[in-house]
Structure 1
Amino acid sequence: MAEEKFVFDSLQDCETIKDFLKALIDGFEKHSIDLSTNGNEIHLEPHGLLNFTVKAKKKGTENKLSIKVEWKESSSVQASESAFLKVR
C-alpha cells in the first residue's frame, strides 16, 4: 500500500488553533477526519482504541506542546489500566 502524508505548518493565533482543535474533536466523534491544504488532502477514520501521547517542554522562552494520536486500521489493543491524563 502506498504511503499517504499530509503536513501543514503555519503561524496561527490561539483562537484559530482552538477552532482547529474543535474541528478535530468533531472528527473523532464522527470517526472521520478530512484534512486539506493547497491541493494536498488526506482522509482518516479513527476508531477503537488509539495510542495517545502528550509532550510538553519549556526551555528559556521557548515552549512546545506536542499531541500525537496513532491507530491501526484493525486494532485489538487493550487499554492501559494506568492511562490517565489531566488537562486544566
Structure 2
Amino acid sequence: MSEEKFVFDSLQDCDTIKNFLVSLTDGFDKGSITLSTNGDAIVLKPEGLLNFTVKAKKKGTETKLSIRVSWKDCTGTRDVNETPLKVS
C-alpha cells in the first residue's frame, strides 16, 4: 500500500485562514479537495461518514486549535455521535 503525504506549515493572518477554510468547505460540498504547493499535490475524496475531532488548548500565552477530519476510502456504516458541537 503506497502512502501519499502532504504538509504545509506557515504563518498566516486570520483572513487568509478564513479563505482557506471556505475553500475547504467548498471541496467537501464538491466531494473533492485538492491541496497543492510548490509542485506537491494531493487529491482527497471525502465521502460517507467522516471522523471529526476538534481540540482547543490554552497554556499561558500559547493557544492552539486543532481540527481533524479523517475517513476510510471504503464505504460502510458507523455509529453517529448524537451530541452536537457548538461553535460560537
1-structure distance, mates of 2:18, 2:2: 32
Normalised by the size of structure 2, how large is the TM-score? 0.95
Match of 1:8 in 2: 8
1-structure distance, mates of 2:28, 2:77: 18
Q: Among all aligned residue pairs of Structure 1 and Structure 2, give the percentage whose two residues are the same amino acid.
A: 66
Deviation at 1:31, TM superposition (A): 0.5
- Of 67-76 and 22-31, more deviation after overlay is shown by 67-76
Deviation at 1:82, TM superposition (A): 2.5
Q: Give CA-to-partner distance per residue, 1:4-55, whole Å, 9 cap, x none.
A: 0000000000000000000000000000000000111000000010000000
1-structure distance, mates of 2:83, 2:5: 29
Q: Over the residues paired in the alignment, what is the CA RMSD in angstroms?
A: 1.0
Normalised by the size of structure 1, how large is the TM-score? 0.95
2:63 is the counterpart of 1:63: yes
What does 1:4-83 correspond to in 2, within 5 Å? 4-83=4-83
> Counterpart amino acid of 2:11?
L
Deviation at 1:74, TM superposition (A): 1.1
Structure 2 runs not aligned, ≥5 long:
none
User: Number of aligned pairs?
Assistant: 88
Contact 1:49 1:79 in 2 (8 A): no
1-structure distance, mates of 2:68, 2:79: 17
Deviation at 1:78, TM superposition (A): 2.0
Q: Provide the secondary structure at the position in 2 that maps to 1:74.
A: coil
Q: Given the superposition, is the C-alpha separation of residues 83 and 77 from structure 1 closer, same or farther in structure 2, using an over 3 Å criterion?
A: farther
Deviation at 1:84, TM superposition (A): 1.4
2-structure distance, mates of 1:80, 1:46: 16
